[in-house]
Amino acid sequence: MAKKLIFGCGYLGKRVAKLWRQAGDTIYAVTRRADRAEELRDSGLVPLIADICQPDSLRDLPRVETVLFAVGYDRSSPQSIGQVYVGGLSNTLQALKPPVERFIYTSSTGVYGQFDGRWVDENALCQPTRPGGVACIEAERALLAHPIGRCAVILRLAGIYGPGRIPRVKQLQAGKAIAAPSEGYLNLVHVDDAARVVLAAEVRATGGTIYCVSDGQPVLRREYYEQLACLTGSPPPTFAPPSPDSPASQRAGSSKRVRNQRVLSELQVRLDYPSYREGLAGILRSGD
């Protein structure tokens, strides 16, 4: 029975935890909140109350074989995104007790700054234009430069969707304009497929390797929302420019198409949802 530690047991992390628990592993999950710790305990996990931005709180981490670092950024946090993604990761690496056999870091395809619709893969130039992408690429470099980097795997995740998380579906159903360009590309991956990639990366990846995690079927935003409108019986989508200071405005200029060939060939993952069409249909059939 292996011992595994998750930082960021949220939408993706809790699914990974469930799969690991089903395999008989002991799963520790870090949280900053006591109420969240109770939820994790009720799910069969071993909660640890700590804050990656507070090094002293990480002193008593258990000795584990595998670590999943899937920390998201809370926009209400007093820390900057760089302090969380880069500083928090560095604090964690310093606190871990050897020997860690596998460290899985969830990064983002936001590390690519391409805006002309070109295809990108793990070897494409990284020129992020948004703070999140900048922080992710800095964190990736810090991880690979650390001794633990030799056993690390970096997963650059596309936009995750799944049950309870279909972006802007309520806005679409209400007939409200979507604040984004209609022709930019969306790169997506179903959360259950992303969780299965994490498990495959743990056992099949070569240390120090980067993987782009998407369904490999980029879709124009207009086509995606037309399909979603059809599936939900909503009015046809309309689009409007996002406000200049909004997160949507920062994302609006990005338009790239992400390849997933390395995940499919090296990690031998077969996607249950090979495109957004199957994914959306499955979610809506289940009523989630």
Q: How confident is the model at residue 254 (pLDDT cuts 50, 70, 90)?
A: confident
**What region does 104 belong to: left with phi over 0, alpha with psi -120 to 50, or beta?**
beta
Q: What is the pLDDT, as a whole number, of residue 242?
A: 85
Please compute the mean of the pLDDT values over residues 116-144 and round it to a whole number. 96
Q: What is the pLDDT, as a whole number, of residue 43?
A: 96
**Looking at domain 3-164+188-216+256-272, which CATH architecture does it have?**
3-Layer(aba) Sandwich (3.40)
What does 196-233 look like in DSSP terms, one character per residue?
Answer: HHHHHHHHHPPTTEEEEES-S--EEHHHHHHHHHHHHT
Task: For residue 155, report the phi and psi dihedrals to the nearest 5 degrees.
Answer: -110, 110
Domain residue extents for the chain: 3-164+188-216+256-272
DSSP reduced 3-state for 25: coil
For residue 250, pLDDT over 80 is answered with no
Please compute the mean of the pLDDT values over residues 43-53 and round it to a whole number. 98
Q: How confident is the model at residue 243 (pLDDT cuts 50, 70, 90)?
A: confident
192 vs 13, 160, 198, 282, CA distance in Å? 11, 9, 10, 12
For residue 245, pLDDT over 80 is answered with no
For residue 244, pLDDT over 80 is answered with no
Dist. CA 190–CA 272, nearest whole Å: 9
Residues 177-198 have pLDDT tens digits of 999 999 999 999 999 999 999 9
Q: Taking the model in full, what pTM does it have?
A: 0.95
For residue 126, pLDDT over 80 is answered with yes
Angle at CA of residue 140, ends 188 and 77, nearest 5°: 75
For residue 246, pLDDT over 70 is answered with no
For residue 260, pLDDT over 80 is answered with yes
